[in-house]
Chain A
Amino acid sequence: MSNCHRIKSLLSAYIDREMTGEEAYQIREHISQCASCELEFEELRRVKHLLSTLPAVEPSEHLLDQVKANVFTDEPKPAISRKGIVVTTSMAAAMLFLTFALMQWIQVKQGGTNGLVPADEMVATDVRTVGDRASGAPVYMPVNLASAPE
């Protein structure tokens, strides 16, 4: 029975002669002894026969002229479509924004005082955190530390 399943899956290729001679021999042998597979083979053969004998459908008289007119008068399309332009512009704007934000962040990191105050100006109570005043170098601390509870 499991062999029938395999044979049935190969029946179309057998009908189209799209298999090796050995495979074709196995299928031929099998369907000569199996009524179920033989019936399936006959039905699939009928489907192929019907499709291959369908009458040709004639195109309308002026179709070729219409197609030619469309093909050769079709304006060359821009390399990027309208949708593509919108997407590209949006991406460029987003990149510009990100670059600007990154530059601001680097500026703050490298010595800006946004959100920070020199330790000298703080009402600091924790000397270890404030750092070395003797060196004279400004030491920066977050603003909220200045109001830290004692």
Chain B
Amino acid sequence: MIVSWIKSFSKPAEERKPLFEKLMSDSYRQAYQMAYRFTSNRVDAEDLLQETYVRAYRFFHRYDETMPFTSWLYRIMTNIHIDSVRKNSRLRTVSIDQGNPETGSTWEIADDSNQADHNMVSNSLDEPFQLALKAMTPEFRMAVILADIDGMSYEEIADVMDTSVGTVRSRIHRGRKQMKEYLQASFPDSLPEVTN
């Protein structure tokens, strides 16, 4: 690993650029799927993808070429997404039901039902599942997406999420349970029988 790191680091920029460009061309469709499932809309998915590749290129000298590029890329994407979710959740700590404690008035919430983003989800065939993913705890959602959509093993997911296999096992199980409960409550007909 150290040898690979040194090799990679010692590569001049003009050699790193074509290699990165090729890896990016090979991986961007798959990475976009992940970004879309993480964020639940195209605009945020594109932003997440852009930021992921910009950061990946900046730290490309740290990439160990013996490891799959997508695993390394997903680790970056996961970190960016978790940071973004935490940042957004900090901005939404006041309950809208509580109203403004100073004035006693209730909050005026804009009707976003016409937003393109909402339409993009609600018009798509996979709306129930995308909404269920969106409702999940971010760490659970990411573990479930990596396992069920990308088909990664628990060990690979543990590497991407920088955690233990035991934690991944727990996150996937709790994530699927959250999704099942959401679908049963909101879309009771969305869980058809699976035929072997």
Seen from chain A, the residues whose Cβ lies within 8 Å of a Cβ on chain B are 9-13, 16, 18, 42-52, 54-60, 63-64, 66-68, 70-72, 74, 76-77
Contacts and interface: CB of A to CB of B under 8 A. Distances in A.
Contacts of B192: 46
B165 to A, nearest CB: 8
Interface string B174-196: 00110110011000001111100
Interface stretch (B63-71, B92-100, B106-114, B141-149): B141-149
Interface of B: 17, 20-21, 24-25, 28-29, 32-33, 36-37, 42, 45-46, 49-50, 53-54, 57-58, 125-126, 129, 144-145, 147-149, 151, 153-154, 165, 169-170, 172-173, 176-177, 179-180, 183-184, 190-194
A111 B125 CA distance: 85
28 contacts: A9-B170, A9-B173, A10-B173, A13-B172, A16-B147, A16-B154, A16-B172, A18-B153, A42-B194, A44-B176, A44-B180, A45-B194, A47-B179, A47-B180, A47-B183, A50-B190, A50-B191, A51-B148, A51-B179, A57-B45, A59-B28, A59-B29, A59-B32, A66-B50, A67-B24, A67-B53, A71-B24, A71-B50
A68 B176 contact: no
Nearest to B174: A12
Given A44-B176, A49-B194, A55 B125 contact: yes
Contact of A64 (B28, B36, B169): B28
B28 A67 contact: yes
B149 A51 contact: yes
A131 B135 CA distance: 80
Given A43-B191, A59-B46, 17 more contacts: A42-B193, A46-B193, A48-B176, A50-B129, A51-B144, A52-B151, A54-B129, A56-B29, A57-B32, A57-B45, A59-B28, A67-B24, A68-B24, A70-B53, A71-B20, A71-B54, A72-B21
B57 A71 contact: yes
Given A13-B169, A46-B194, A57-B32, A70 B54 contact: yes
A55 B145 CA distance: 13
Nearest to A57: B36
